[in-house]
Amino acid sequence: MADVVTDSLAAMSLEDRCKACAKPTPLPALICFKCSEGKSSEGTSTYIKYCSVQCRTADQDEHAQHCKNQNVRKAIYRAGGLLKGAFHQMRLRAFDLKIASVEKKDGILYFKDDDYYGRDEFPFYNFPADTVKDQEDVQALLSYAFCNDAPVFLDALAKKALEGLASSIEQAVLQISAPCKVRRIFPSGDVVPDVDYHSVMGIDGYDGQSYIIDTTGAQHGQFKAVVPLRSYIEQNDARVRKMYYAGGPRVAMIKQIKATLEKPDSDPRGSIGLFKLATALNRTVQEWEDRNQTSIGKLLQSDKKTFTEGKKQLIHEIGVAMSIALKEIYEETDVKKTLDWLYDPAGQGAKDSGATTNDDGRMSCMVTNKVEGSGLYKMWVAQNRADLQAPNPHWWKTKLEPHLAAGGNIKLAWPSQGQAPA
């Protein structure tokens, strides 16, 4: 408790006012210890201060919801950090880039490919830790070209970590303005073109806010695992291009692996290896919970010291389990037998009633005047509504707007990128 008091007092000044009576708070000031480690929606530490025990007691009922929200946000931001840590463990062991050299110039990390020999070599390579030592550069290189895969392999952990914290978990492909800070050079000297599409998770927190969870944003200079939805959209000038219910991309990837396995000359070891690492991740998390007689949810809500130590232990055990799992890549290629959990259907408990999905859990965008669904889905609808209106205002005013006003809707085709109604 003493550490909490010290941290709290360091953030206070003589300008602070009592939450209950608005009088200046003396130093040392009283705070609400139930949310002393709580976060604002932007992830900053905030403290509720009082001038007296009487004021703190009198404010309990009014403060209750704010107190709860502070702790929900604390756990959401911690969950994002845990997901990012697990991703780094996976990527360090399943690093599929064979790098000959690395050079940083003008803030961009350039790496040159070495020669690849296909089935004659292991599908994963050593991360160039001797060359890349700056931690931001390490994160950027680990995240390079892996944004589509990260939500797939972190899906189960995300659901476990965010249980009781978020009412919806979705996956989305965004078009962003932030340039990639990592550039790949083929042995021929050709530079791989920059891609402005980026995959993330979107959640609606029980604090009433919507967030983006971006575990691979470092390649674009985005190092925060959790960012409020609106802030993320504004900072990256982002457009929502596709949305999936949680698990949808996993289903699509499984279909792709099965199709690859049917080809006699295929080499699916890389994909199967990643799924085996994800299986090891999920098993390790469950074993850690059972052994410690706790849950990830309780860890995320624990005091700072307990959380820091628990997270460190869990991340270490995940890394060890993944290293062991890598040795088994050659032993089994029966996806159904070894990776049965991947066949869980997508879109369970979906809350966006305005959207429909295909078999892979991919959502359609339904433009209406009464949009229901998550914050990210509403953002998607609003962006597409604007795209429909901008090119032909007369058509919008005379045809589409009356149609929507009468209770109609406009279902956009796949993929939805501001197309005419289908």
Q: Which has more pLDDT, 1 or 395?
A: 395
Q: Which has more pLDDT, 270 or 291?
A: 291
Mean pLDDT of 214-243: 97
pLDDT level of residue 46 (50, 70, 90 thresholds): confident
Whether the model clears a pTM of 0.85, i.e. scores above it, the answer is yes
Q: Is position 321 within any domain?
A: no
pLDDT for 250 equals 78
Residues 298 and 252 in one domain: yes
CA distances, 27 to each of 3, 15, 104 (Å):
16, 11, 48
Tokens of 148: 């589509």
Contact 246, 157 (CB under 8 A): no
pLDDT tens for residues 69-104? 999 999 999 999 999 999 999 999 999 999 999 999
Q: Which has more pLDDT, 8 or 214?
A: 214
Q: Is position 330 within any domain?
A: no
Domain span including residue 259 = 74-316
Contact 253, 244 (CB under 8 A): no
Q: Which of 316, 338, 356 represents a domain boundary (last residue)? A: 316
Residue 344 has pLDDT above 80, yes or no: no
Q: Which has more pLDDT, 28 or 19?
A: 19
Mean pLDDT of 375-388: 96
Residue recorded with tokens 């990643």 = 274
Instruction: Report the alpha-carbon distance of residue 280 to residue 260 in Å, rounded.
Output: 23
Residues 376 and 280 in one domain: no
pLDDT tens for residues 285-333? 999 999 999 999 999 999 999 999 999 999 999 999 999 988 776 555 4
Mean pLDDT of 345-357: 46
Query: What is the rounded average pLDDT for all residues in the chain?
Result: 87
Q: Is position 189 within any domain?
A: yes
pLDDT level of residue 260 (50, 70, 90 thresholds): confident
DSSP 392: -
pLDDT for 121 equals 80
Q: What whole-number percentage of the chain has pLDDT above 90?
A: 70
Contact 87, 54 (CB under 8 A): no
Residue spans of beta strands (DSSP E) within 188-343: 197-205, 210-213, 226-228, 239-245
Residues 12 and 40 in one domain: yes
DSSP letter string, 75-135: HHHHHHHHHHHHHHHHHHHS----EEEEEEETTEEEEEE----GGGS-S-----TTT--SH
Residues 145 and 218 in one domain: yes
pLDDT tens for residues 173-213? 999 999 999 999 999 999 999 999 999 999 999 999 999 99
Q: Which has more pLDDT, 134 or 116?
A: 134
pLDDT for 355 equals 52
- Comparing 25-34, 143-152, 155-164, the range with the smallest average pLDDT is 25-34
Q: How far is CA 54 from the centre of its chain?
A: 42
- Comparing 14-18, 231-235, 243-247, 392-396, the range with the smallest average pLDDT is 14-18
pLDDT for 249 equals 81
Residues 92 and 30 in one domain: no
Residues 152 and 8 in one domain: no
pLDDT for 340 equals 54
Report residue 269: phi and psi, to 5°.
Answer: -60, -35
Residues 85 and 177 in one domain: yes
Q: Which of 252, 285, 316 represents a domain boundary (last residue)? A: 316
Residue 240 has pLDDT above 50, yes or no: yes
Bridge partners (DSSP) of residue 110 are 103, 183
Give SS3 for 14: coil
Residues 294 and 398 in one domain: no
Residue 33 has pLDDT above 70, yes or no: yes
pLDDT for 247 equals 77
User: How many domains, in total, are found in the chain?
Assistant: 3
pLDDT for 179 equals 94
